[in-house]
């Protein structure tokens, strides 16, 4: 047991006093962020995820720096100043605590354990099953994330979690990545004529931006785009080619923008169908 005289002797080495004060500060910061995550709702945890992670990273960086300094001077096995111990935060649910005679090495490790536990608890709150009221839209063609339409009339991008991240067995769990107000809907198709002296291959791309639309409304918009493209082809190229239009597929991109330039160079706008036809070295673009 370290005596009062021995503690007084240690304080003559000024860095010891600073280290004891700072490591208790790091302990308190770790306990506070752990407590904040513990009592946060799932929605709050998702909204503050970046802040929580930055806070944990900041605490860990400062802690590791001071613990490395203590190790270099061979004081890592010394007890933290007893005068600083009463300042240490405590919680009944904490698995770790600060006690008299605790050495720097043990406290450095325990603070890292508290931070690790905080991140595990954060993961458990931000990884959740998909609410049954959310409507599946499709896969975002730019990010690869699954898109759902939510009760807040937004399009949420979800990333599937691994079993290791969430320790769940029989259900798919997801992490929310972002939310957007608008959805780019892109229709792709083609026209191909075989035989003859000059066979034609025309690539068709059409689309628009929508908002506040669930699965059924988007289906109707897709049908509207498909019909508008076929009528446009008939007016532009004739009834024969209109009958050869083949729909290839539909793509989605979640965005907050009111205009969106897709890879084909088509500038899409809210609630306006635009189409571009490309063949050989020519292209035609119009608003329908």
2-46 tens-digit pLDDT: 899 999 999 999 999 999 999 999 999 999 999 999 998 877 888
- Measured CA to CA, the distance from residue 247 to residue 190 in angstroms comes to 7
SS3 281: coil
Write down the pTM of the prediction: 0.62
- Measured CA to CA, the distance from residue 252 to residue 212 in angstroms comes to 14
159-193 tens-digit pLDDT: 876 544 444 444 567 778 889 999 999 999 998 87
Look up residue 148 and give its two tokens.
Answer: 């759902």
In this prediction, residues 75-91 reach a mean pLDDT of 94
185-231 tens-digit pLDDT: 999 999 887 665 667 788 999 999 999 999 999 999 999 999 999 99
Task: Share the mean pLDDT of the chain.
Answer: 89
Q: Which pLDDT score is estimated for 171?
A: 53
Say which residue the tokens 């979640």 belong to: 254
Q: Give the DSSP letter of residue 1.
A: -
43-72 tens-digit pLDDT: 788 889 899 999 999 999 999 999 999 999
* Domain extents in the chain: 4-126, 128-180, 182-287
């Amino acid at each position: 047991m370290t005596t009062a005289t021995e503690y007084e002797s240690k304080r003559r080495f000024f860095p010891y006093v600073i280290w004891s004060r700072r490591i208790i500060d790091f302990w308190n910061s770790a306990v506070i962020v752990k407590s904040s995550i513990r009592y946060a709702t799932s929605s709050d945890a998702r909204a503050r995820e970046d802040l929580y992670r930055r806070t944990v990273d900041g605490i860990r960086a400062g802690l590791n720096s001071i613990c490395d300094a203590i190790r270099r001077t061979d004081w890592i096995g010394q007890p933290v100043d007893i005068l600083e111990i009463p300042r240490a935060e405590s919680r009944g649910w904490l698995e770790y605590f600060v006690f008299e005679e605790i050495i720097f090495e043990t406290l450095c490790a325990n603070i890292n354990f508290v931070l690790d536990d905080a991140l595990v608890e954060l993961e458990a709150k931000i990884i959740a099953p998909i609410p049954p009221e959310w409507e599946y839209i499709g896969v975002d063609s730019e990010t690869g994330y699954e898109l759902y339409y939510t009760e807040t009339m937004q399009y949420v991008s979800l990333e599937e979690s691994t079993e290791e991240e969430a320790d769940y067995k029989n259900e798919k769990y997801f992490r929310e990545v972002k939310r957007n107000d608008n959805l780019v809907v892109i229709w792709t198709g083609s026209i191909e004529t075989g035989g003859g002296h000059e066979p034609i291959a025309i690539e068709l791309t059409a689309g628009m931006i929508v908002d506040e639309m669930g699965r059924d409304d988007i289906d109707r918009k897709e049908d509207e785009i498909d019909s508008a493209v076929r009528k446009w082809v008939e007016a532009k190229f004739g009834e024969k080619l209109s009958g050869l239009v083949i729909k290839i597929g539909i793509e989605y991109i979640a965005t907050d923008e009111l205009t969106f330039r897709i890879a084909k160079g088509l500038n899409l706008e809210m609630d306006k169908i635009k189409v571009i036809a490309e063949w050989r070295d020519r292209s035609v673009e119009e608003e329908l």
